[in-house]
Structure 1
Amino acid sequence: MATSSAPGRVLAYLESAKNLTGSACGLAGLALTFTGLAGAYWPVVIAGLYGAGALLAPPARPRPPDFPDASSPLRTLRDDFARLRVYLDQADLPPAAADRLAELTELLDGLLAPGRVSDVLSADPEGVHTLSRAVHQDIPESVDTFLRARWWSGVSPGREPPERHLERRLELLRRETEELAAGLREAGSRRRQPHTRRPEDRGGP
């Protein structure tokens, strides 16, 4: 199995940004060689430029899942959330952002799990839309934006660290999800009230 996957890993590196950037820099070193500027050390110049280009290239990052429709029904939303969890597990996040993301995904998992809460949620189109937007758009876009900006922040220091923006975004999403969960619990409680009051009403004067 290891031998069969080796060609795939080689092909993936050949197509990676590190190899492409390093190759471009290596070609620049080759041009210096032809002009005579590299001198007798032209192999070292080419190898050094390739290595520098590979180091400066942005690191590889997981691709966010491609969701076909952001208005999926609740049963499909559960499957999409599972796909999102796979993507999030591959994302390299700093500890503070990872903790906030874990709190958010735990809330979403509780809301989407089959049961009493999801039964109330299925009757709330606005609530389903809010969770659908979080799963299909808000969370993957926030994480992918951080993964893109993290490399640029190292190239251009002095700006606000991108993890701070990610932490604030995840915190806002967590609060929004908590408000939705509280509303669903209240709606579920109101739905059960008529069943508990009916025996009391029959016992009245």
Structure 2
Amino acid sequence: MATNRALAYLESKKNLAGSACGVAGVALTLTGLAGTYWPVVVAGLYGAGALIAPPERVAAPSFPDPREQLGALRRDFDTLADYIKEVDPAPAAAGKLTELMALYEALLDPGWVADVLATDPEAVHRLARAIRQDLPESVDTYHRTRWWNRLAPGQESPDRHLERQLGLLYDEADRLTRDLRESESRRQQTHTTYLEDRDRS
């Protein structure tokens, strides 16, 4: 580890700048301008060069591109779809579940819609949270609560809870869709304004 750090410093901008200034100090010594204090002059110039050199640029961490994130999210959606096939809720909840899955599928469908989605990291995050966390949790708690409800009937129907949760998730996905549509509308308006301004100039 120490060897790696030493090698890294040898190749660093600070060492190169310091060495260049140190060579200038040696040149001053050879011409007689440094006098008897030439070691101090050489060391001082090296230190000055090392201090004024710009710091090494630390490489920024590389994170997945939004399109790569969507690819992983599509695979997770397929896994979720297989899981959802095993669900057998009441007709009202089943209809809302079908609508919700169709909306998710449309948003993730490869093409220009997914390209628009990929430009909005917050929208990708919201959709990922719904697919990977919210909907599976809704379905899982529905299954477990329904089992307990059979043992102790008389409580509020798990189907009603599931229907409400699916409605909320659908509203959230619908808002996300509207936000993306408005973003495209603003982009179109911006382009219109740009063309109008260019035409006037």
TM-score range for the pair, normalised by the shorter chain length: 0.5 to 0.7
Aligned to 1:183: 179
Q: Which residue of 1 aligns with 2:108?
A: 112
SS at the partner of 2:143?
helix
Question: Displacement of 1:74 after TM fit?
Answer: 1.3
For structure 2, the 5+ residue unaligned runs are 1-65
Specify every segment of 5 or more residues in structure 1 that has no aligned partner in the other structure, as ranges.
1-70
Aligned match for 2:84, one of 71, 85, 88: 88
Aligned to 2:137: 141
Pairing of 1:19-98 with structure 2 (within 5 A): 73-98=69-94
Aligned residue type for 2:181: R
CA distance in 2, matches of 1:81, 1:153: 29
Q: Return the letter of the residue paired with 1:94.
A: A
Corresponding residue SS for 1:118: helix
1:126-162: CA deviation from partner (whole Å, max 9, x where unpaired): 1111111111111111111111111211110111011
1:169 pairs with 2:165: yes
TM-score (norm 2): 0.62
Match of 2:156 among 155, 160, 176: 160
For the pair shown, the structure with the greater C-alpha radius of gyration is: 2
Report 1:184-199 matches (<5 A): 184-199=180-195
Partner of 1:33 in structure 2? none
Size of the aligned set, in residue pairs, is: 135
- Alpha-carbon distance between aligned partners in 2 of 1:80 and 1:168, rounded to the nearest angstrom: 24
- In the aligned structure 1, how far is the partner of 2:114 from the partner of 2:185? 14
Alignment-mate amino acid for residue 191 of structure 1: R
Q: Name the aligned partner's letter for residue 172 of structure 1.
A: L
CA RMSD of aligned residues (A): 1.8
TM-score (norm 1): 0.61
